Amino acid sequence: MNKAELIDIAAKEADISKASAGKTLDAIVAAVVKAVAKGDTVTLIGFGTFKSSKRAARTGKNPRTGEALKIAATTVPKFSAGAGFKAAVAGKKAKK
């Protein structure tokens, strides 16, 4: 599913226009990105948690030459699925 298909489904389910659904989706994504970039955690109960995670510096290997190279430390986004989401994907009912 791509963004356009997601907007179509959201517009149909919420009985709103596709333009409104698109603006809403863009606003939600922007808010999540902004919060995680600041270092905050965004939790959507039943769906999952978005947060930033620090990745330590490490030594890697150039696959072409086999030469060792240094990979700098960085901060990356991380998503952890919630219990309801995990249960839905596994085909089970979520516990209440």
User: pLDDT digits over 80-89, tens only?
Assistant: 999 999 999 9
pLDDT above 80 for 4: yes
Predicted pLDDT of residue 92: 79
| Mean pLDDT, rounded, for 24-38 | 97
For residue 70 the two structure tokens come to 């240094």
Predicted pLDDT of residue 45: 94
Residue 55 near residue 73, CB atoms below 8 Å: yes
The model's pTM is: 0.80
Do the strands 48-55 and 74-81 form a parallel or antiparallel pair, or are they unpaired?
antiparallel
